[in-house]
Amino acid sequence: MTAVTFDTHAYVKELKAAGFTEEQAEVQAKTLSSIFKANLDELATRRDLKDLEMATKRDIRDVKAELEAKIAEAKAETIKWMFGVAAGQAVFIISILKLFPSQ
C-alpha cells in the first residue's frame, strides 16, 4: 500500500496561527491523523484493483471453458439421441411395411 503522510507538525502550526492553543492544536492533529490512518487502511489501492481484475478475468475464463465443455457434451448427447430416434423410426417403418405389404 502506498503510504500517505499527514504532516501533523505543519497542521499544529497552522492551527496555532489561526488562534488555537498548543494543546487544542495537538489534540486536533492527533485525532485527524488517527482518522486518516483508519480510513486509509480500508481503501483499495490500484494494485488491489488490478489483482481483483486479474482474478475476475481468470474466473470468467474458467467458467467459459467449463461451459464450452458442457455445451460440447450436450451436443454429443443430442446427436446420439437423434441417431437413436432415427434408427428407431427406420425400424418402425420397415416393420410396418413388412406387416402391411403393398399389392
Nearest to 71 by CA among 82, 63, 60: 63
Q: How high is the mean pLDDT of the chain?
A: 89
How confident is the model over 36-72, as pLDDT tens digits? 777 677 778 899 999 999 999 999 999 999 999 999 9
How confident is the model over 2-48, as pLDDT tens digits? 555 778 889 899 999 999 999 999 999 999 888 877 767 777 889 99
